[in-house]
Structure 1
Amino acid sequence: MALPAWLESCRQWVLRPPGTTVQLRPLQEKVQRAAERRRELEQLGDAALNARARRSRADRDEVEFAAAARECARRALGLRPYDEQLTGALALAQGRVVQMATGEGKTVTAAIAAAALSADGPVHVLTVNDYLAGRDAQWMRPLYERLGVSVGWITELSTRQERREAYACDVTYVSVNEAGFDFLRDGLCTDLAHRVQQPLGAVIVDEADSILVDEARIPLVLAGATLTGQNLAQRMAELVRQLRHDEHYVLADENRVVHLTPEGAALLERALGGIHLYAAENLDVLTAVNLALHAEALLTRDVDYIVRDGRVELVDSFRGRVAQRRRWPDGLHAAVEAKESLTSTGGGTILATITLQAFVNQYSRVAGMTGTALPVGDQLLEFYGLEVVVLPPHRPRIRVDEPDRVYATSEQRDTAVLAQVATTHATGQPVLLATPSIAESEALGARLRDAGIDCTVLNAKNDAMEAAIIAEAGTLGAVIVSTQMTGRGVDIRLGGSDQHDHARVAATGGLYVIGVGRHDSSRVDDQLRGRSGRHGDPGRSVFFVSMQDDLITTFGPEKLPRLEPASDGRLDEPAALRAVADAQRIAEQVNLEIHRNTWRYHYLLEQHRATVAALREELLTGDRADRMMAQHRPADHARLVRAHGRDRVASAAQAIVLYHLDMAWADHLRDMGDLRESIHLHAFANLDPLDEFHRAAIPAFRQLIPDVELRSAETFAGLDLSDPDWTPADLGLERPSATWTYIVNDSPFGVDLERFFAGVIGLLRAGWQAA
């Protein structure tokens, strides 16, 4: 049966090799020329070598700098970078994304590239967490000092002064979230002296596929803290707990959407005093009900989130760890807190927001590195204009990647996993067992201990100790049970962190990576595999999958082929392997389309943000506010200047206009959030929600700046500067007394977008089956 043309095109997109790659030969030729200078540089004293490195950096001489940096690294760190690392450093300095396998030395590669880039201005190295920012900066400091480059780092606990000093360095290591939050805070400063960042120059993004693709659409938020709606959320949580699945509510669209049934609505209406739940005057109540129902039916503790120290903390599905300061948007987080009977942390008034994608694009030059860039090469090119350089490993990879083992049920899968771990452990071969959720990691860990197998469970609840745990995962007989391994940032060396037992562990076959269930991104699976077989070491990897896994039930064929499992539940037929592979490909395509659609929504807001930011910069650094008030209130302006002098009047005008601009922008963000929540209703009239969003948002923004000028002029008319201690608060212009930052898991257009992609999944399923 022939596929429709558009569906065949989609299928071919999924099957074709992705990515735009750069030829290695020109880079390798430069590295070869650098290698020819080895003997000459080794004979130089430290002072002469350092001077030569600094001179070549200032002269932007790539070959000379690569040669000198290599020798400096050998003396400073005891590590002589391989040709592959120098090739990667040159590629990063040219603004590429470098694909380097796990354990190939990305940290040194990035340091050499950052030092080269710093000749043109400050460089940020963006990491996935605070631990890596501090570790890498301190580890590379001796190399940077030889190269004449200052280095600093920032963590969540850094003070404003510490941040300012770190950003003043030539190279700054900082997590992407902290850098983004500092950018937002700087954007609301009313005094240039309070800013901490320098103008954004070059950036090197670690775990580039994770930050630039998987998390690209996540908005960073700066809010003024408030507490609202806690009682209503608690009341709805209590009522929703009484509802029964399939009687009072149903799940739809691949268990992504939950709806009340008529019986459920009637029960709630009676419990709420006989109200009409769907009447316009009860919109707030209906919203609270839907949020509570979503929290109860669709979000699972120890899978989607954990509760720790009295707080709900989201779990990053790609890393299997707590996503620091991340929240669900639009009241859902408060609904989950109510579900868990916790005190609400409040939603706050959003003062500023920017997506990670938009933030990274603020830098003048972007580069990145990761072990799995090629599969998302098209997206890196589409969203950032970045090309990929694929580096070969320093030593050939000899790891054995076994075919997936597919089972009929999750229980049969887990039984097989436990048997495999026991068999492997008996030989002394270390095992890294990766599970899809915290709950499963703890359950499998408990079953292993019951079987007499000592193991360490590494998940979102003990992430503070993860580096030490991972570093020893390659010791003889070790069994580590983890969630995902993306972004862990620590190599697993055979024989332990000091490799004292390397030969014995290698003789057992090296690290055995066992994945429990496939992730909806093949890159995450590949990164897990990459923990084994580093630097030519032996290793093995295999994935155990069940037809009950979420990936298969959500994205797999609706009607699975008739398969006859073996006595242990294993499905050996090629059709079972195809079903798993097809489900993963469909999941990747759906996630890409969600990325594109959410970026289309955020792109307009980003244009608005950039316009407001440019005006704000003009107000803060020039006399735009003073001129504005002189134009709108000439008599008042002239009177005040005669009485108090132009400088004082200009300062007051600046404070007034900045306040109204910031509040107008916060109001605009709130209105756009409300609009986004309701815009999906236009789909019922066969209108494109995105088009309708733009149709409403553009005129609203056009009115923003004229409104700011009008409000500022009205405030200026009542200005009295006779008090020498005058402050904007004297006119009621009070900013939030405290601000806080968080991240939201964004899902623009809510249910409607989910319905659309449910339809896409169905069409893709039909296409795979027809093919």
Structure 2
Amino acid sequence: MLGIGTVAKKIFGTPNDRKIKATRPLVEKINLLEPEFEALSDEGLKEKTEEFRQRIAEGESLDDLLPEAFANCREAARRALGLRAFDVQLMGGIFLHQGNIAEMKTGEGKTLVATFPSYLNALSGKGVHIVTVNDYLAKRDAEWMGKVYAALGMTTGVVYPQQPDSEKQGAYAADITYATNNELGFDYLRDNMKSSLEDMYQRGHNFAVVDEVDSILIDEARTPLIISGPAQDRSELYITIDKLIPELSEEHYALDEKTRNVTFTDEGNEFLENLLHARGLLEEGQSLYDPESSTIVHHVNQGLRAHKLFHKDKEYIVRDNQVVLIDEFTGRMMAGRRLSDGLHQAIEAKEGCSIQAENVTLAQVTFQNYFRLYNRLSGMTGTAVTEAEEFAEIYGLGVVEVPTNQPIARVDDDDAVYRDANDKIKAVIESIQEAYKKGQPILVGTTSIEKSEKLSEHLTKANIKHNVLNARQHEKEAQIIADAGKFGAVTIATNMAGRGTDIQLGGNVEMKVLEALDADPEADPEAIRNRIEAEHADEKKKVLEAGGLYVLATERHESRRIDNQLRGRSGRQGDPGRSSFFLSLDDDLMRIFGSERLEKVLSTLGMKEGEAIIHPWVNKSLERAQAKVEGHNFDVRKQLLKFDDVMNEQRKVIFKQRLDIMKADDLSEIVQDMRNEVIDDLVDTFMPPKTYADQWDTEGLYAAVIEQLNMDLPVIAWAGEEGVDDEEIAERIEKAADELMEQKTKQFGSENMRKIEKQMLLQTIDNKWREHLLTLEHLRSVVGFRGYAQRDPLNEYKTEAFQLFESMLDSLRHDVTQKLSQIRPMTEEEQQLMVDQIAQQRAAMEQAATPSVPAETPENAVSGFDESDPSTWGNPGRNETCPCGSGKKFKHCHGRLA
């Protein structure tokens, strides 16, 4: 018997079907306009853009303009790129404009889809941001799709790291700006550390299209973006503690792989305390539980995490003596990203790399709160439906599955589960050999560098020619992906089967053309293209006959999306293909999340060595396990976001204050209000309301006025006058302070004084905000313990964070008032001294930048010493005098170069 839900779906269709149906009239309108726009000249397309802008200025809505704007954009793309958008691509564009996530399968042309809503929303003149996962894709897409925007009379910009300021400002000023999520977030933080409006990069957050939206808004959103400055160097402490960790045995710590957590047991704490006492890291009589021990305990905990939770070639690689993190979802290196709270330094100590100093947070924001700044946000990806709840709850984004242009012809096999890793590897090699003999291109998915390299060794032994694509080979990524669809190609990839680049059957024509032109720049491009296209057609035919691309996964990931992304590489645009997952009970997902029941089933079935269990129930069971893990990860992210939301409200207040200050020409009234509030606070402190005169601390007030306001006022005498109350004294102090500031304004000149006030306010706000961020970090790390006292950590954090913020604003008023009351014009002697100091600094910098010329050999150098020939230096010890005769120790002189 069918359920009510099933019957309703049969009659009314699914919610997704209804959304698709609702766009069909719009798509038909666009198609009916096609002949009209085809008849326009190239200049006519640009004139249409100006007409649309004028109509928007006159009050017409973007929704009203959509059919015409999309028709104009489709025609421009056809002329500029030779690509005519399919109806399903227009649908995807409509959903993006409406503020949804369009789930479109691999090869459906998402890059082109983004041009439609971007063009429409850029007509308002407020700018559009198209967000990509890496700089390569940002530059590639900006150059590629820039031709479409240029044909429409629009400008395109691209933002990348270490970009010159003027170029970056130009990129943000363009109609359409391509950038990575990291660079957008960092530029937002940098803008809110600037001291003038002219230096700011971004001009607001109007509309954004996020490519690979699941990767950016979910996977990468677990760690905030942080701009930091160097703190105290503790390299020696990390190295010392790192040497202690190997002395621990398994009973000293508890490792929980499900939650990726490791903690010391009671035996471990006792063992550690004795060890720290013996090494002199804990003073005699001092316990691990004493407040003074918190720093050392923190470092030991981070050392334990570095050893037990972070593994080389899985979570990170070592490159050029540096620990570089690997993104577990894309397998790419995250250059420049560092783990916080000293964890990165602990890993550097473990690997024997040079330890970089810890950092102090200067500004930070999470991707969730950055992307929620946009008036309208949208995204596209091949896999979003599994995370629809999170997209809706955190970002208010709906997810729509857009139908494929051609029906999917790929065959998806049921998972094959083996008893152990050896049985699985044998089956994987056999399956690869079988497809390899037919010439079928194979994409093999692994979950870590280590596993991809082990599999590569097996394939080498089996004489199967192959390519390996992982974080070590990321420079060759585009080339390896371009070749992955060739006849007989075998490619091993770690979680990153060409994100942003299609695997085309028979190989990538564009890549081949570029290679041929690089090899022979004098050749005729058209002749080369014709020859390569003919060769490609033959090769593609052979690949199609062999069965299309075969995706073979050697493990399931914690997230179904990553599995679906890999699977989706096969069967693009209606091509044939096949996907298979080979698993074993030794796999991380199976081992950590419920392989016990499966093991019982396998034992009951009496499976023999090398046999696999293959059944749809196994797939369902695994997907349930994955859904549980995804749910847990969502809860973790949601909890983190709740804490960050508290800081975000405060961040908005501070950033708005900074912006208001930068926009204002005259801040004297704000400064005066601050000064008056400070005076009221001082009077309330030393002359509390509703108290008698003999209870007042007039001497304390006198001293505080000198310290805070730089004024020697007869406060004690005033307080002794008959009938004078606290309000009268506050007014007299305010009047005297106003007169003092008027005097200073005359000394400096009105214009200079306004500039000083502005810079003083901005500098003080920045310093206070940095201190506040550090305080909140410390509060966040300890507030969790309140749960043991049956108090909600989040509520405790909210309450205390609010009190700290109020206290910061009070402190801000006091600091600004004190600094402004103490400034004075410089004397001529002081100005000359400052000029001399700047000249000396500049000369020192120029000298440091000038290449050093080899000095003449001193007379007291060792006989035969030759500056340029180390063989003449003898073999001095590191602490002996240098043979060059400088008198310095060898290690501080020529020994530095040896």
Is 1:603 matched up with 2:645?
A: yes
- For residues 667 and 432 of structure 2, the distance between their equivalents in structure 1, rounded to whole angstroms, comes to 69
Contact 1:556 1:579 in 2 (8 A): no
* Residue-by-residue CA offset, 1:202-226 (whole Å, 9 max, x unaligned): 1111111221222224211111234
Question: Partner of 1:388 in structure 2?
Answer: 399
- For residues 649 and 445 of structure 2, the distance between their equivalents in structure 1, rounded to whole angstroms, comes to 41
SS at match of 1:708: helix
Is 1:268 matched up with 2:260?
A: no
- For residues 576 and 23 of structure 1, the distance between their equivalents in structure 2, rounded to whole angstroms, comes to 33
Question: Partner of 2:775 in structure 1?
Answer: 671
Is 1:46 matched up with 2:42?
A: yes
* Residue-by-residue CA offset, 1:87-138 (whole Å, 9 max, x unaligned): 2112222222111111100111101221111011200101111000000000
Question: Partner of 1:209 in structure 2?
Answer: 214
SS at match of 2:236: helix
Q: How does 1:90-489 map to 2 (within 5 A)?
A: 90-120=94-124, 121-244=126-249, 246-252=250-256, 254=258, 256-261=260-265, 262=267, 264-273=271-280, 275=283, 276-485=287-496, 488-489=499-500
CA gap 1:280/1:439 in 2 versus in 1, 3 angstroms = same
Contact 1:19 1:376 in 2 (8 A): no
* Residue-by-residue CA offset, 1:24-72 (whole Å, 9 max, x unaligned): 2232211212212333433433223443355346544221222222121
Is 1:29 matched up with 2:67?
A: no
Alignment RMSD (CA, Å): 2.4
- For residues 713 and 446 of structure 1, the distance between their equivalents in structure 2, rounded to whole angstroms, comes to 70
Letter in 2 for 1:269: L
- For residues 40 and 696 of structure 1, the distance between their equivalents in structure 2, rounded to whole angstroms, comes to 64
Please give the TM-score of this superposition, normalised by the length of structure 1: 0.88
1:703 to 787, 791, 807: 807
* Residue-by-residue CA offset, 1:381-424 (whole Å, 9 max, x unaligned): 21122222321000000100111111122232222212211221
- For residues 335 and 573 of structure 2, the distance between their equivalents in structure 1, rounded to whole angstroms, comes to 32
- For residues 23 and 57 of structure 1, the distance between their equivalents in structure 2, rounded to whole angstroms, comes to 29
- For residues 44 and 477 of structure 1, the distance between their equivalents in structure 2, rounded to whole angstroms, comes to 47
CA gap 1:19/1:208 in 2 versus in 1, 3 angstroms = farther
- For residues 228 and 15 of structure 2, the distance between their equivalents in structure 1, rounded to whole angstroms, comes to 38
Overall identity of the aligned pairs, in %: 35
User: Which stretch has the larger CA shift, 484-493 or 116-125?
Assistant: 484-493
User: Which stretch has the larger CA shift, 218-227 or 249-258?
Assistant: 249-258
- For residues 427 and 54 of structure 1, the distance between their equivalents in structure 2, rounded to whole angstroms, comes to 56
Letter in 2 for 1:197: Q
- For residues 726 and 301 of structure 1, the distance between their equivalents in structure 2, rounded to whole angstroms, comes to 56
Letter in 1 for 2:803: P
Residue 695 (structure 1) shift: 2.6
Residue 240 (structure 1) shift: 1.1
Contact 1:313 1:324 in 2 (8 A): yes
SS at match of 2:471: coil
Contact 1:99 1:369 in 2 (8 A): yes
SS at match of 1:97: strand
2:90 to 86, 90, 95: 86
Contact 1:431 1:512 in 2 (8 A): yes
CA gap 1:50/1:346 in 2 versus in 1, 3 angstroms = same
Relative to total residues, which structure has the larger helix share, 1 or 2?
2
Letter in 2 for 1:593: D
SS at match of 2:472: coil
User: Which stretch has the larger CA shift, 294-303 or 541-550?
Assistant: 541-550
Residue 572 (structure 1) shift: 3.9
Contact 1:22 1:387 in 2 (8 A): no
Letter in 1 for 2:210: V
Question: Partner of 1:615 in structure 2?
Answer: 657
Contact 1:625 1:657 in 2 (8 A): no
- For residues 718 and 574 of structure 1, the distance between their equivalents in structure 2, rounded to whole angstroms, comes to 78
SS at match of 1:512: strand
**Unpaired runs of at least 5, structure 1:** 1-16, 731-771
Tell me: higher relative CO, structure 1 or 2? Use CA pairs within 8 A at least 6 residues apart: 1
Letter in 1 for 2:658: R
Is 1:689 matched up with 2:731?
A: no
CA gap 1:22/1:638 in 2 versus in 1, 3 angstroms = farther
Contact 1:90 1:113 in 2 (8 A): yes
Contact 1:557 1:579 in 2 (8 A): no
- For residues 614 and 407 of structure 2, the distance between their equivalents in structure 1, rounded to whole angstroms, comes to 31
Question: Partner of 2:567 in structure 1?
Answer: 529
* Residue-by-residue CA offset, 1:568-605 (whole Å, 9 max, x unaligned): 05234666445422221111110111121111111111
Please give the TM-score of this superposition, normalised by the length of structure 2: 0.76
* Residue-by-residue CA offset, 1:459-507 (whole Å, 9 max, x unaligned): 1112122112112210011111111127720001100002441111011
Residue 726 (structure 1) shift: 8.2
- For residues 316 and 261 of structure 2, the distance between their equivalents in structure 1, rounded to whole angstroms, comes to 18
Contact 2:171 2:177 in 1 (8 A): yes
Contact 2:423 2:609 in 1 (8 A): no
Question: Partner of 2:589 in structure 1?
Answer: 551
Contact 1:184 1:222 in 2 (8 A): yes
Residue 719 (structure 1) shift: 0.6
SS at match of 1:351: strand
| Structure with the greater alpha carbon radius of gyration | 2
Contact 1:31 1:83 in 2 (8 A): yes
CA gap 1:709/1:324 in 2 versus in 1, 3 angstroms = same
SS at match of 2:117: helix
Question: Partner of 1:76 in structure 2?
Answer: 80
Question: Partner of 2:630 in structure 1?
Answer: 588
User: Which stretch has the larger CA shift, 118-127 or 81-90?
Assistant: 81-90
Letter in 1 for 2:651: R
Letter in 1 for 2:624: D
Residue 233 (structure 1) shift: 0.9
* Residue-by-residue CA offset, 1:619-667 (whole Å, 9 max, x unaligned): 2211574323334152432121121222211211111121111111111
- For residues 277 and 437 of structure 2, the distance between their equivalents in structure 1, rounded to whole angstroms, comes to 61
- For residues 103 and 129 of structure 2, the distance between their equivalents in structure 1, rounded to whole angstroms, comes to 19
Residue 337 (structure 1) shift: 1.0
* Residue-by-residue CA offset, 1:440-476 (whole Å, 9 max, x unaligned): 1111112211211111111111212211211221001
Letter in 2 for 1:643: Q
Contact 1:53 1:64 in 2 (8 A): no
Contact 2:131 2:178 in 1 (8 A): yes
CA gap 1:53/1:659 in 2 versus in 1, 3 angstroms = closer
Letter in 2 for 1:213: I
- For residues 690 and 164 of structure 1, the distance between their equivalents in structure 2, rounded to whole angstroms, comes to 39
Question: Partner of 2:609 in structure 1?
Answer: 567
**Unpaired runs of at least 5, structure 2:** 1-12, 56-61, 510-535, 676-736, 836-898
CA gap 1:166/1:726 in 2 versus in 1, 3 angstroms = farther
Residue 684 (structure 1) shift: 2.3
Letter in 2 for 1:170: D
SS at match of 1:683: helix
Letter in 1 for 2:203: Q
